[in-house]
Amino acid sequence: MKITNVEAIWLQLPTVDERADGTQDTLVVKVYTDEGIVGIGEVDSSPMAAKAIIEAPMSHRIARGLRMCVIGENPLDIMRLWESMYQGSIFFGRGGAAQQAISGIDIALWDIAGKAMGQPVYRLLGGGFRDRLRAYASILFQETPEETYNLARHLVEQGFTAVKFGWGPLGTSEAMDLAQVRMARQGLGANVDLMIDAGICYDTVTALKRAHQFAEYDPFWLEEPLHPDNIEGYARLAAASPIRIAAGEQETTLAGFQALLDAGLAVIQPDVARVGGLSQAIQIGRMAVQRHRLCVNHSYKTGISIAASLHLLAALPNATLLEYCVEQSPLRQMLTRETFPVVDGYVAVPQEPGLGVTLDEDVIARYRVA
């Protein structure tokens, strides 16, 4: 089998607002083969930047577009092709958008392998430890604490047993922070897990103070309170916080996750569409397993990322929670024909060959930019 083409499809809603909602655009990757199998992947990045990295012509030996690194090659040689893309983009890559772009092709290669072998991807990653994951609803803090309370009630009524609120007005004032978290907890009640995503809004001292203040509301974790480069702050925070500290969604490299684990984080959050795809996400997950920390996916895109995350988490011995974005964007809700319904708070791991997703080509046609 040979790769005949790589297509990077930039999708975007007609209006993109300045808020932390990654479901407003995406980059879908299709990898075509001479045997008719088409692999599907997704990149979480600036779609235009990642598309350019995939399609770029050769500047010199270590500055090549990712597409030309894999065309003509056997798609089943996944790690060899991953290395070819990584080495081919050393000059402008080794992290950031290049690593994010590698993710889309890598996920598509795993999809091809699963389809070619008639097996779900998690089995190719070593086999499934579970066939469903407990979904935590992931959504932004609302403008007012009362709106957050109402949304919390609504999500509990939908059967979620865990909910994360993030970003939004958190960090604007101490009073706002405490009111938002208090009302989130009141809306969820005592028996639903609450995660708080600070969205990089604190310095180290404030984050430590908030961790103690939020502890009263029994959050499952406090996520990304600090700038991703503030590793020293994360180490101080992890050592002194009464609640779990989670982070990692901005990281794209093994070294980045190694640093977060060394800093003592309780939870790391690789995004399969950012860290170089499933090939590297599974390595990151196993690093967490080795250290008895939790690995929970970051994912705030489409059904493609949800499916890839489910396969990743199914193949890790100690993963139980799934980030499950509940934004109502048509890209989040309608791009894949599979809807990943939440049943009794759980989402099933796809059992079809490959990722187990099919794309709605009408949705692609409607939102395609380039």
In the bound complex, what is the minimum distance in angstroms from residue 306's beta carbon to Mg ion? 16
In the bound complex, what is the minimum distance in angstroms from residue 200's beta carbon to Mg ion? 9
**Which residue's CB comes closest to Mg ion?**
197
In the bound complex, what is the minimum distance in angstroms from residue 175's beta carbon to Mg ion? 23
Select from 196-204, 214-222, 304-312, 319-327 the region that touches Mg ion (CB under 5 A).
Answer: 196-204
Q: Which of 42, 106, 197, 323 binds Mg ion (CB under 5 A)?
A: 197
**Alpha carbons 196 and 154: distance in angstroms, whole number:** 17
The phi, psi pair for 38, rounded to 5°, reads: -115, 125
Listed in sequence order, the residues at least 6 apart from 159 whose beta carbon sits closer than 8 Å to its beta carbon are 342, 343, 344, 345
In the bound complex, what is the minimum distance in angstroms from residue 337's beta carbon to Mg ion? 27
Select from 124-132, 195-203, 212-220, 233-241 the region that touches Mg ion (CB under 5 A).
Answer: 195-203
Decide: is 44 part of the binding site for Mg ion (CB under 5 A).
no
**Alpha carbons 305 and 277: distance in angstroms, whole number:** 10
| Residue among 33 and 269 whose Cβ is closer to Mg ion | 269
Select from 84-92, 148-156, 172-180, 189-197 the region that touches Mg ion (CB under 5 A).
Answer: 189-197
In the bound complex, what is the minimum distance in angstroms from residue 202's beta carbon to Mg ion? 14
- Alpha-carbon distances of 222 from 31, 95, 259, 313, rounded to whole Å: 38, 25, 18, 21
Select from 83-91, 117-125, 197-205, 316-324 the region that touches Mg ion (CB under 5 A).
Answer: 197-205
**Alpha carbons 350 and 348: distance in angstroms, whole number:** 6
Is the sign of the CA dihedral 292, 293, 294, 297 positive or negative? negative
| Residue among 197 and 338 whose Cβ is closer to Mg ion | 197
Select from 154-162, 193-201, 333-341, 362-370 the region that touches Mg ion (CB under 5 A).
Answer: 193-201
| Residue among 6 and 281 whose Cβ is closer to Mg ion | 281
Q: In one letter, which amino acid is 343? A: V
| Residue among 103 and 297 whose Cβ is closer to Mg ion | 297
| Residue among 138 and 279 whose Cβ is closer to Mg ion | 138
User: What are the beta bridge partners of residue 166?
Assistant: 140, 197
| Residue among 89 and 142 whose Cβ is closer to Mg ion | 142
Is the sign of the CA dihedral 2, 274, 347, 364 positive or negative? negative
In the bound complex, what is the minimum distance in angstroms from residue 241's beta carbon to Mg ion? 17
From 362, 370, 355, select the one nearest 42 (Cα to Cα).
355
Structure tokens, 293 = 């920390």
- Alpha-carbon distances of 286 from 126, 268, 296, 316, 318, rounded to whole Å: 12, 11, 12, 7, 9
Q: How many residues bind Mg ion (CB under 5 A)?
A: 1
| Residue among 225 and 277 whose Cβ is closer to Mg ion | 225
DSSP state of 350: P
- DSSP, collapsed to helix, strand or coil, labels residue 267 as strand
Q: Are 47 and 27 in contact (CB under 8 A)?
A: yes
In the bound complex, what is the minimum distance in angstroms from residue 301's beta carbon to Mg ion? 13
Select from 92-100, 118-126, 181-189, 191-199 the region that touches Mg ion (CB under 5 A).
Answer: 191-199
User: For 40, left (φ over 0), alpha (ψ -120 to 50), or beta?
Assistant: beta
Decide: is 106 part of the binding site for Mg ion (CB under 5 A).
no
Tokens 């879908």 -> residue: 28
Taking the CA atoms of the chain, what radius of gyration do you get in angstroms? 20
Q: Are 137 and 306 in contact (CB under 8 A)?
A: no
Select from 72-80, 170-178, 181-189, 192-200 the region that touches Mg ion (CB under 5 A).
Answer: 192-200
In the bound complex, what is the minimum distance in angstroms from residue 293's beta carbon to Mg ion? 17
Interface pattern 143-182 for Mg ion (x via CB under 5 A): ----------------------------------------
Contacts with Mg ion, residue ranges (CB under 5 A)? 197
